[in-house]
Amino acid sequence: MRFINQFMGMILRMSYDLVSAIIPGDSKLVSNYAIAILLLALIIKIVTIPLTMKQSKSMAKSRALQPKIKELQEKYGNDAQTIARKQQELYKEEGVNPMGGCLPLLIQLPILMAMWNVVRQPELYAFTEPGMYEAINKSFFWLSNLNDVDATLIMPIAAAGISFINQKMMMSQNQPASTGNKEQDAAMQQSNNMMGIMMPVMMFFIYRSLPAVLPFYMIISMGLTSVVQLLVNKQIAKELEQEGEKTK
């Protein structure tokens, strides 16, 4: 994990050096450091697009099979063993791996954790020269130093807001399979809705006491995630439509 942290730190440092070379005069309004963090998040998001595409496509195919899975549940009732066997046969017949959406996510997790560590401790992984990180300009609009807590709470509120939007997007795209029981389905939906509210609230209370650079990075990362996911979903819908036409 330390190697990944160091690699991400190297990318942040290269991003900062590149921005500093392009913009020699470090602005007091938006520092080169803030721009470098934005650039870093953008680079990582672009690199992980193939994984996002693979994960989303696998989940889209699984969602398309939900009506057939519901038919199996209605047909075999409480015979869980037969339902499980028939589902596996259905997945194999349709060429769908039910775990196909998990592997890309697992691959991305170490990258996300490393990114968090680098942004949290840039002096350890990116700006390793003694006193360099303390000396560089870290301003961003109303904040004179991104390393300080945002007393205005703008960053924590914005991070919680974007998290709420992301949660809603994910829930609308990843509807859980029906259990065949209306009460269980309603309870599951209520639980998901509650989670969609609680997560952003928790993020707000966590970020309000942390250096502003952390919610700042998450705002950029989650914002890019929303944009990329919309583009990926559009592309996947087009591909699945073309595949459906070929099979007719």
pTM of the predicted structure, to 2 decimals: 0.79
> Average per-residue pLDDT in the chain?
84
pLDDT at 230 > cutoff 90: no
Q: Please name which of 129, 126, 150, 125 lies closest in space to residue 140, comparing C-alpha atoms.
A: 150
Q: Is the pLDDT of residue 149 over 90?
A: yes
CB 143 within 8 A of CB 212: yes
Q: Which residues on adjacent β-strands are paired with residue 145?
A: 138
Name the band, by pLDDT with cuts 50, 70 and 90, for residue 245.
low
Q: Which residue has the tokens 């705002």?
A: 219
Task: Report the SS3 class of residue 242.
Answer: helix
pLDDT in tens, 217-226: 999 988 988 8
* Neighbour-count burial of 205, counting CB atoms closer than 10 A to its CB (0-12 exposed, 13-18 middle, 19+ buried): exposed
Percent of the chain with pLDDT over 70: 87
> Does the pLDDT value for residue 23 go beyond 80?
yes
Centre a 10 Å sphere on the Cβ of residue 96 and count the other Cβ atoms it contains.
16
Q: What is the pLDDT of residue 182?
A: 57
Q: Count how many domains the chain has.
A: 1
DSSP summary character for residue 139: -
Tell me the residue range of the domain where 73 lies: 2-247
Q: For 145, left (φ over 0), alpha (ψ -120 to 50), or beta?
A: beta
Q: Using an 8 Å Cβ cutoff, are 68 and 90 in contact?
A: yes
User: How does pLDDT run across 58-117, given as a tens digit for each residue?
Assistant: 777 777 788 888 888 788 877 778 888 888 888 888 777 766 667 667 777 888 888 889
Residue 154 has pLDDT above 70, yes or no: yes
Report the percent of the chain where pLDDT is more than 90: 36
H or E segment at 78? none
Residue with tokens 């942290």: 5
